[in-house]
Structure 1
Amino acid sequence: MTAIGALTAAYGPSIPAFKEQQGINDTAAGTGLAMQSIGAVIGILFSQPLMRRRGNRVAVGASMGLVAAGSVIVACAPTWPLILVGAVVTGLGLGGCDVLITQLLIVGTGARGPAMVNIAHACFGLGTAAAPALIAAVGATQYRVVFAAIALMALVGVVTIKGLAPSPNPHELASRAQAPGHDAPRRRGIGVAVAFGFLALYVTHFGAQSGIGNWEPTVLADQGFSASGAALATSGFWLAMVAGRFVAAALTRRVPLATLVVASCIGMTGAGALALHGSATAWAYLLVGFFIGPIFPNGLTWMATTGHAHGNRFAYVIAGSMVGMALAPVALGAVIGAHGTGAMPPSILAIAALALASSVLVALLTRKRHPRNDDDPTSESARDHSHPREHSSH
């Protein structure tokens, strides 16, 4: 998870070196991140049939191997087209690792699942903070060293893959736990509505996350911050997300997942409103990062435990959210280009309010619809009985 987090954040700081060494313009340089995002969406979708047919170990091992192979290609590629090939390969592995590791932790670690998912995604966040820092330390022209380090981290995962049981996979556990009538038309309709609600939540919260991560330095520079000060504030935003996930990991045993996600959306919206006061923007976005942190990992666990998002539907929602994450900075950039940096705080506030509305809608749709019993896949006791030895995590 640290390796794929580093991949997510490594291309942006490397763009100056790509332009200098490959003789390309800004638009072409930005295609590296776009190609990785496209690869990630494909990797998410194809990881599910691979896991069903070949088991957990092959699917996760192949995804880790793709991260390592693609990073090596980027590190060694002498030409820009080969770098783009490496970006696609890393994206395939990134998407697979993200969705598979999350699924296996949710279904394979029993009551510890929510905390484990938070910790895993906090490690992802550490990677997003570490990659730019390392590139800043060694210089953008030495980006090859950073991608080689990412490949090494992925290989550590490949070496330890024997610790993962090949079966049962999450699809098998879900089908065993399904109660009679699970596919009734009414339940299917509710399931589709819940899935779209979660998709809206993830797209909007990623819109706020990627919008601030990409545009906060520009906004703060217009407010009089130095380049280093604006960069430091943006780094604080990413680190606050990591802190939020570690705090959430400690709360998951005491606070229901739905409550934790809705409360985080309320905090994100409140902090976004604080950013409307120009002098408080940097501190406000630090708070936004803290509250954004718990939404995605706990939302995934919440979605899985509703009983409406097994297997492919789970993967489709994550893939759709990644598409939103890729498009949000472009849309926000267009708004800023048309109306100036002063348009960013109200835009982020509007996006946060939509995320809050989506979380409340999902909470209402899933409230009191799944009483706990041994045949219900949403029941913690059912999950524990389905895999008493925590098959998927060992």
Structure 2
Amino acid sequence: MALPSFRRIDRAAVLACVALALVGWSSLLVPSLIRSIEPAFNQTDAGIGVFFFVNAIAYVSGSMLGGVLTERIGRRVILPMALVLITAGLAGMAGAPSWSLFLVAAVPLGLGAGAVDGGTNGLILDLYPSSRGRSLNLLHLCFSIGSLGSPLVVGRLVEIGVGWQSIVFGTALVAIPLALLLGLADQPSGRHVHAGPAGSVRIGLALPLVALAIAIACYVGSEVGVSHWLVRYLDSASVGLATSALALFWGGLTIGRLMSAKIGDRFDHARFAATAALVAGVTLAGAVAAPSLEVSILLFALAGVAYGPIYPLIMAVAGDRYPGRSAAVSGFLAGTAVIGAILYPPVMGLMSVSVGLGAAMAGAAALAGACALVLALIARGTFNGPRATAS
């Protein structure tokens, strides 16, 4: 199958990819800089867990609110506004004189990142309805590239003495021109004319969509948990090696999404995602039990390959079932996905100071297994219900 054509709305599709890459980069800033941020504010892993919790709550709100507002006023307004919020949040973090203000700055960052996540997924669903699995994998490949580059570049910058505040503020500046370009780009508006309140209720309470929400929340809780805490988990390694291991994990995600973009639409999206989630859980469990640091890092990278296709394929399943409501459905799933990030990565911080991060990583493997189970049930048609249509 040929690559999805960007000829119709070339600028909007490319800018969506760049915006999600920025979200991916930003999402790994604090995990990559954890060894610099904790002493700067005299915080422990539990304190960083609070930051992840606050940011995740804001991310959920931004995803869901962004989808609702897009259906009313359009993406051309919402996506640039979301990027402005990212700029404000990152700049606030870079200049925060206290831990309390650092936490406050996590709110606009999360709101903006969530709205960009849901908004770009909806945009690609509208642009490429006949190749959703492939197109969404390519979109999330860009997220993975941003996440892959963040620990690699940040780790090297820290090692040569660049302050963490400069790194965060430099990222904030990138979002400004991107917001301007997205505001000028032609793109599907994403607006939806509601026939009545009942239509909205059917989508929100549809059993297949609820099942997809559970699956994507389990996936995100597992993947984000590994991503946020891998550098700390590898505390015995140098900063350079630990951040390189995180980069390898995201490199695996990148490879997984690139491979899935090639073959994803040849298979049932739900079955493919269920298989990937099962492999991710087993491989992650192996990484925790590995007898050596080198083997553990290798297995974390392989787990990343398996994680790669899961999120975009879940979005593709939703797009197949609710083709007329891409903005609302993608925003809803992007928001519920982060419930996993709200609940589990902060718990991992608490577990770190009680039972240890090894047990917390094993829990992440269990979440991947739960995701696989729900997706397998979806693939079997256990949660079949009426499909929503545009009204």
Change (3 A) 1:314 1:79: same
Query: Is the contact between residue 151 and residue 246 of structure 2 (CA under 8 Å) also seen in structure 1?
Result: no
Aligned partners of 1:289 and 1:329: how far apart in 2?
17
Matched, 1:236 2:248: yes
The match for 2:319 is 304
Q: Distance in 2 between matches of 1:62 and 1:249?
A: 30
State the Cα distance separating 1:58 from its structure 2 match.
0.5
Amino acid at match of 2:113: L
Match of 1:123 in 2: 142
**Percent identity among equivalent residues?**
21
- 1:97 Cα deviation (Å)? 0.4
Aligned position for 1:328: 344
Is the CA contact (8 Å cut-off) linking 1:63 and 1:93 kept in structure 2? yes
Identify the match of residue 167 of structure 2 among 142, 146, 152: 146
The unaligned stretches of length 5 or more in structure 1 are 177-181, 378-382, 387-394
Alignment-derived partner of residue 203 in structure 1: 217
| Deviation string, structure 1 residues 245-298 (Cα, Å, up to 9, x no partner) | 111112234333223212312322442454475235433322211111110011
Q: Distance in 2 between matches of 1:309 and 1:359?
A: 22
TM-score (norm 2): 0.78
The match for 2:87 is 68
Distance change (3 Å), C-alpha of 1:46 and 1:226: closer
| Higher RCO by CA contacts (8 Å cutoff, separation 6 or greater) | 2
Name the structure 1 match of 2:290: 278
- Conservation of the 8 A alpha-carbon contact between 1:11 and 1:32: no
CA–CA separation in structure 2 for the residues paired with 1:32 and 1:349:
23
Q: Following the alignment from structure 1 to structure 2, what is the Cα–Cα distance between the partners of residues 146 and 69?
A: 15
Alignment partner, residue 43 of structure 2: 25
* 3-state secondary structure, aligned to 2:186: coil
> How many correspondences in the alignment?
364
Identify which range, 241-250 or 153-162, moves more after superposition. 153-162
Partners of 1:19 and 1:205 in 2: CA distance? 27
Q: Which runs of 4+ in 1 moved over 6 A?
A: 366-371
Name stretches of at least 5 consecutive residues in structure 2 with no aligned partner: 1-19
Could you tell me which residue of structure 2 aligns to residue 351 of structure 1? Answer: 367
Alpha-carbon shift at residue 237 of structure 1 (Å): 1.4
Deviation track 1:140-162 (CA, whole Å, cap 9, x = no partner) reads 76223322332233223223225
Alpha carbons 1:115, 1:248 under 8 Å: kept: yes
How far apart are the structure 1 equivalents of 2:21 and 2:191? Answer: 23
Q: Aligned pair in 2 of structure 1 residues 295, 77: CA closer, same or farther (>3 Å)?
A: same
The answer to whether the 8 Å contact 1:195/1:309 transfers is no
TM-score (norm 1): 0.78
Q: 2:266 aligns with which of 241, 249, 254?
A: 254
- Larger Rg over CA atoms: 1
Within 1, Cα distance between the matches of 2:182 and 2:243?
37
SS at match of 1:111: coil
